Amino acid sequence: ESTLGAAAAQSGRYFGTAIAASRLSNSTYTTIAAREFNMITAENEMKPDALQPNRGQFNFSSGDQIYNWATQRGLQVRGHTLAWHAQQPGWMQSLNGSALRQAMIEHINGVLAHYKGKIGAWDVVNEAFNEDGSRRSSNLQGTGNDWIEVAFRTARAADPAVKLCYNDYNIENWSYGKTQGVYNMIRDFKSRGVPIDCVGLQTHFTGGSSLPGNFQTTLSSFAALGVDVALTEVDVTNSSTTQYAGLTQACLNVPRCIGITVWGVRDSDSWRASENPLLFDGNGNKKAAYTSVLNAL
């Protein structure tokens, strides 16, 4: 196959990228994005601060710009993200307790009502754990330890058809406290019937040539709990070809690994631009890592 999306589709998977609305006027960028990828995540435009800048006033203009750009080109869209300690609007940052709990519920209801039937999967909760596997302290965590399951139950009720994901970084190494913390939460949710369909592993890799320990075991272990897994925000310091090939192969080896998304198009578009972590260079040329991924798919 000649594109990442088409190659991934051969095994029933997708290959996606994050897109920024501010770059949609750049034709080099849009040409690559529309040609190579078949799943789109809004890099920032569907986060809480973007969608509800004032309490009770939703603004879907940038989110819809991404959504429309993608779907007009036949690309699917992942939703990112409904509840997160970061990128909250100012009014939400200053809330706590039952008022924040209520605001979280209203935010989820408002966003899912707008995108109902349009978006296949949402990152319902993002980055809720510390590196040691305990819960990250935040204003959301301060509303009570059940805030995550309340977010998932709210989302299921608002849109019974949409897939509900938990998303985090540094949950790739199986022998890591955070991985185990998230794993135990998913296992608990499954045992108690809390609705959850998928786990997103952000997969922001740094340096070296080998993958985090037992990466594929992590994917298969989550999958064995009865959830899909996806690599949701992939970037790799200096685009190590062995790491890119390895993470692609690991996903392909796990039947419930449903797709891979890189966190941007060209190195110059990346939030880690100085690390040159993506599959296209600043001029839009395919890098060696592109070929290593394509060959692995």
Give me the least distance between CB of 50 and ligand XIL, in Å please: 11
**Coil/strand/helix, residue 218:** helix
For the question of residue 127 being annotated catalytic, the response is yes
Question: Of the candidates 73, 142, 271, 275, which one interacts with ligand XIL according to CB under 6 A?
Answer: 271
The H-or-E segment that residue 77 falls in is strand 76-84
Both structure tokens of 121: 């999967």
How far is it, in rounded angstroms, from Cα 28 to Cα 164? 33
Give me the least distance between CB of 227 and ligand XIL, in Å please: 18
The answer to whether 21 and 62 have CB atoms below 8 angstroms apart is: yes
For the question of residue 43 being annotated catalytic, the response is no
Give me the least distance between CB of 127 and ligand XIL, in Å please: 6
Question: Of the candidates 36, 45, 228, 233, which one interacts with ligand XIL according to CB under 6 A?
Answer: 233
One of 36, 45, 172, 233 is an active-site residue; which one? 233
How far is it, in rounded angstroms, from Cα 24 to Cα 65? 9
58 touches ligand XIL by CB under 6 A: no
Site of tokens 């569907």: 46
Of 77, 88, 13, residue with least CA distance to 40: 77
**Coil/strand/helix, residue 41:** strand
Spell out, one character per residue from 202 to 221, where the chain touches ligand XIL: x when CB under 6 A holds, - when not. Answer: x-------------------
Question: Of the candidates 8, 16, 40, 44, which one interacts with ligand XIL according to CB under 6 A?
Answer: 44
Catalytic positions are 127, 233
Binding site for ligand XIL (CB under 6 A): 43-44, 126, 202, 233, 271
